[in-house]
Amino acid sequence: MTLIKSISGIRGTIGGPAGDTLNPLDIVKFTSAYATFIRRSGKCNSNKIVVGRDARISGAMVKNVVCGTLMGMGYDVINIGLATTPTTELAVRMTGAEGGIIITASHNPRHWNALKLLNNEGEFLTKDDGNEVLSIAEKEDFDYADVDHMGQYTDDDTFDQRHIDAVLALDLVDVEAIKKAKFKVIVDTVNSVGGIILPGLFKALGVEAKFLNGEANGDFAHNPEPLEKNLGGIMGEIAKGGYDLGVVVDPDVDRLAFIQEDGKMYGEEYTLVTVADYILDHVKGATVSNLSSTRALRDVTEKHGCTYYAAAVGEVNVTTKMKDVKAVIGGEGNGGVIYPESHYGRDALVGIALFLSSLAQKGLKTSELRASFPEYFIAKNRIDLTASTDVDAILVKVKELYGKEKDVQVTDIDGVKLDFPDKWVHLRKSNTEPIIRVYSEAHTMEEADELGKKLMQVVYDMQ
């Protein structure tokens, strides 16, 4: 059983002893620490905190503990119920709340759950803020409200429609073109909240949609991470013919993957690439993704005469960089689209609407649209180390070794990334176990894997 405390929140498996799992005692402790942090930061003084959750089986239990604790801390709770991560983010802004807690373990299996923490902008906490919450939790430095100052509780189920309306109102979402295209899609929402909100979005866009695993019961029909190895069911259905596109989301609907009309994966990395290309067709500006995302975004950005920037891995790092360079689009290669015109958070609804707008305006099949982008393949490997290995020292040695090469660009904002003229490799240490993650990309999978294993050998030789 596992309990992981980090700057982004608390995550763990359900059931088992206190301190080792995600259980009521630790939920109370961490929620109290977050509420204490919000009280001390005092940025808007609305006294409201939004709570939303995905459809996990443990969600009702966790929600009840979280909401009761927030009320005990003197906060008024706006419970928006079963809701996507981006819906909850938007709800914080729409209500003028001081913060929000999202109860979701994202793509983790059904026996996991988590608390993800938002500031008053509906965005994830910064590293410094997250560390402050962890410090408060460690000290158990809490002060609960007396009986006359306890918080109030309100249910509000209006935010799904408000989220859909906000997507439809975006200037570059071409509703008329999408309706005219008469798309027919099949959608896998893996038995979570996508099955609640996406029917309304597709109906508003005039898209005929068939849903697989659409009941939001939290009993995931397959591993919920939207990767090809987990999507045999929907890929097989599309391969039978009759659909323009397959759409897959994770349990909290911030990641988005597509499947072509021929039943083949569009490529999770190319969700952001496609949306960015569409945005840059209409508005020029910078783009951002993390260091482990495909180079195709850089290629597409430069094709439009614009500048690409890389950020450290992690959504808050990407959004921070986007703000710094005033990016018009950004995100992560795991299917996370961040569109500032909507909000600074990964949002599958926004991604779907912009992708369909591009497809409709260009009049292409999904496979034809995919073929219009540079072809890259990413290999993912790992180096297992002993607990005593000095990972930081190894990465410094890699940086020094390749920093002498004229045709290699070295980036060290998050581990070490080596950019060669036609490929790259990124080495970064895990925060939770003694390993180095090795991601590499090239024009063929064989070449990408070969590059990754070459660097793995370099590291082994250093030990």
pLDDT exceeding 90 applies to what percent of the chain? 89
With cut-offs at 50, 70 and 90, classify the pLDDT of residue 16. confident
* Residue 1 clears pLDDT 60, i.e. is over it: no
Mean pLDDT of the chain: 95
* Residue 106 clears pLDDT 80, i.e. is over it: yes
* Residue 148 clears pLDDT 60, i.e. is over it: yes
Burial-class residue 153 by CB neighbours within 10 Å (0-12, 13-18, 19+). middle
Q: How far apart are CA 233 and CA 331, in angstroms?
A: 27
* Residue 271 clears pLDDT 90, i.e. is over it: yes
pLDDT tens per residue across span 80-91: 999 999 999 999
With cut-offs at 50, 70 and 90, classify the pLDDT of residue 199. very high
The catalytic position among 32, 58, 106, 292 is 106
Q: What is the pLDDT of residue 169?
A: 98
Q: What is the pTM of this model?
A: 0.95
Q: What is the pLDDT of residue 131?
A: 94
Active site (annotated) includes residue 292? no
pLDDT tens per residue across span 23-68: 999 999 999 999 999 999 877 779 999 999 999 999 999 999 999 9
Q: What is the pLDDT of residue 4?
A: 83
Q: What is the pLDDT of residue 386?
A: 80
Give me 272's structure tokens.
């952001």
With cut-offs at 50, 70 and 90, classify the pLDDT of residue 435. confident
